[in-house]
Chain A
Amino acid sequence: MRQPYEFEKKFGDQIYRCSSCGFCRAVCPVFGLTSRPALNARGKMLILQEVLEGRAELSEELVDTLFQCTTCANCSVHCPSGVEVPEIIKAVRKDMVGSGTCHPAFAGMKEILDRHTNIYGEDEPEDFGRERNRRAEYVYFIGCVGQYREDEATEETLRLLDRLEVDYTLIDEVCCSGVLEDVGFQMNQDLVDRNVRAILATGAKTVITGCPYCYRTFNNKPRYAALKEAGVRVIHISQFLKDFDWDVRTDKVVTYHDPCDLGRHTGIYEEPRETIRKIAPNFVELPNARAEAVCCGAGGGVRAAFAANSIAMARKRLEEVESVGADVLLTDCNSCLHNLANAKLRRQKFKVFTIAQFLNRLLDEARVRPGAKEVA
């Protein structure tokens, strides 16, 4: 008898509860791109059933499917049998890594975070010309993508916070390291400790994250429990901005892409829309919005490991943006922003921004004083 897998202990029953109805075909972004049943949730569950029955091994042959899941949760939200596919996939990846099977991109991510402070292995963080680690009411936590890839969006977000005269500080932040658990490893305790120490040292009672994924990690991972114990509240920038009024408007047709980490995983659908509706009377929803939103293709390590498919998924999402005739696509996740902006074709004339970035631009264009007042 083989030793039971770790994933089996927690998810064995669920893997068998998949009734093979195939309804996940309608919503899986990887399947939508490839029409390959091995890559959608049903295929993955069938493969895992065979693994549990000893008819297949957790080997290299399975990497293409088990490591190619954006963990967007569109399947589990729509699963009639309630199978929590992303959680299962993450657990399986741990067993695979434990037995020495891993996608090289994920192994590389682990190595980088062993040696560096962020997923890009860059040692020179952008300081955005602002003082760090000072005592303040709020900490603004940028996240790796906002820090090293979408620094323009971050700069504009910070300028918006300045305009609103928010008493915030940046910190010597490092990767929240939550992503390691998604790709088969343990979180990095050293990185966790550094973040917790830096946040607590500011005396701030609220952390505003620019990244929905960091938001989830801080709020849900037991390793970050010290924040809650110290009475520190962690919110996402969309939750912070929703309580302001704005005296700027745009005539442009604006649409919004729900990030999976913010929407399906966290239930934050309304807050971004509250802000958008205040500034964009010509707001239109994408054909697949809220819980139905189609993933941009960046999550679950897919952008690093299966770059071509990741970009192609983003292109499919951008087709929806074209179909509603939007001038501006807003989202509220730097990772989505990054993938969608990279995937945008030259003929697609719409612009892609985060909500904070777009707000700051409107205020720049209007050349008005902040004019914004907190109503909450």
Chain B
Amino acid sequence: MKDDVKASLRELVGDANYTDQLIDLIAYSKDGSEHRHRPDAAVWVEDSGQVSEILKLANREKFPVIPRGAGTGLAGLAVAQSGGLIMDMSRMNAIREINIEDRVAVVEPGVVYADLERALEPHGFFFPPDPASGKVCTLGGNVATNAGGIKGAKYGTTKDYVMALEVVLPEGRVIRTGSRCMKTSSGYDLTRLFVGSEGTLGVVTEITLKINPRPPLSATAMATFDDVEAAGRAVSEIMHSGILPSVLELMDREGLRAVNTVTGADFPEVEAILVAETDGYTEEETVYQMKRVVDIFKKNGARSVKRAKSREEAEALWAARKAAGGAFTRINNNLFVEDLSVPMSRVPEALKVISEISGKYDLRIPTVGHAGDGNLHPCISIDARDPDQVRRMHEASAELYEKIVAMGGTLTGEHGIGLAKAPFMSMEHEEGTLALMRSLKRVMDPNNILNPGKMALDG
């Protein structure tokens, strides 16, 4: 990036909001994935006007712009693959409106998920996706990745809640999409186009979210299984039983072993555990749902089923699953969190594939999953300083993607494609589909300014 361009950027945002210091460039070089590349400069933007001016400058001077929220993504979406400018959105963090009558919240992209949670709580409302990084991730990042979480089976993911957006297009024009009406059939659904577009089509500067009343009651149960396929059958049966658990999480034997090894806990190292939560407005409703879930656990050969009778007991049932994230990162120096999704009926088969690949490549792959929506996170644990382990990890991932796609699955349930899965886009999407995606990108961003290199759109 030329010095005069840097000077222009500095002038646009002010000294306090511009940096090209080494420490910032390194800190912005990475997100939660293994991808790493230093940008040339970074800015903290304050409003859509600044975003627009910067994008116009970028088009004139032909430098890449990479919008970034908290940088917690796991697929390299926020990494400046070919240098350029990191546009940090985190200081645009105002909650502009909470309107309970309309059931909407209007927020800037830098609002942290947990801060919106806190603001909605007194109203008895929530924004359900509940990503694991909720304490730090930004809503702009949620929109860019179409983030999900543990409540997907009942409540869906980010896309189900974004009603309208203000977006700065790559050439600097500011537009609005969607409507704050609960229903609209008006025109192309541009809102959905931008959700999950990974910052490649525009910079989101305002988000109108549908918010849900939060059911006040919940019930929790945990079941252990000696057979992964039986656990999978239980999941499948629950999900077509008419009951929609608010959470239905799975962890495999390797995961339980990792938690026990790392935390010193003593969870039974069975083939799989399932943790279910049902929610509702009355105890009768909540307990009825849970009773059905428990019956299905038993019918499908659960070795043991525990129902929580108190909040403390519920926490105890959650303990293994909640410890997973921390425990998995401590097995070895590096953890690569995969994010596959399969049709509900294929969950057992997918688990079997993961186990086979783990053996074939001699890798530890503990797995957790949002079983209720078919989204599995096999976590490959290696020491990335050993080239042989890195090679085996990459080969294992590629084979995993191939097999998952072959059974009708998808490369990513909630993390996005980014850099991590860009090379595999053609595995899942046919040529015509990819061509349309690339055409859209060219029409909207002719100079390929915004987040280049992601989602295989350059190819």
Which residue numbers of A lie inside 8 Å of B, CB to CB?
A: 13, 16-17, 19-23, 25-26, 35-38, 42-43, 46-47, 50, 56, 61-62, 64-65, 80-82
Contacts and interface: CB of A to CB of B under 8 A. Distances in A.
B415 interface: no
Nearest to A68: B23
A47 B23 contact: yes
A64 B23 contact: yes
B136 interface: yes
B329 A20 contact: no
Given A22-B32, A23-B133, A43 B27 contact: yes
B31 interface: yes
Contact of A46 (B27, B333, B335): B27
Contacts of B23: 38, 43, 47, 61-62, 64-65
Given A21-B133, A22-B71, A37 B329 contact: no
B114 interface: yes
Contacts, number: 87
A176 B32 CA distance: 41
B32 A47 contact: no
A13 B32 CA distance: 18
B91 A23 contact: no
Interface size class of B (residues with CB under 8 A): 20 to 34
A147 to B, nearest CB: 36
B416 to A, nearest CB: 16
Contact of B21 (A13, A22, A61, A82): A61
Interface of B: 19, 21-24, 26-33, 44, 70-72, 88, 90-91, 112, 114, 133, 135-136, 325-326, 329-330, 333-335, 384-385
A65 B114 CA distance: 26
Contacts of A62: 22-23
Contacts of B24: 36-38
Given A22-B32, A23-B133, A23-B135, A17 B329 contact: yes
B383 to A, nearest CB: 8
Nearest to A64: B23
A22 B329 contact: no
A19 B26 contact: no
A23 B90 CA distance: 14
Contact of A21 (B21, B26, B32, B112): B32
Task: Give me the 8 closest cross-chain CB pairs, A-B, nearest first.
Answer: A43-B27, A38-B27, A80-B326, A38-B23, A37-B27, A81-B329, A26-B135, A25-B136
Contacts of B32: 19-22
Given A21-B72, A25-B70, A82-B326, A13 B27 contact: no
28 contacts: A16-B333, A16-B384, A19-B329, A19-B335, A22-B71, A22-B133, A22-B136, A23-B72, A23-B133, A23-B135, A26-B112, A26-B114, A35-B91, A37-B24, A38-B24, A38-B26, A42-B27, A43-B27, A46-B27, A47-B23, A47-B26, A56-B22, A61-B21, A62-B22, A64-B21, A80-B326, A80-B329, A82-B330
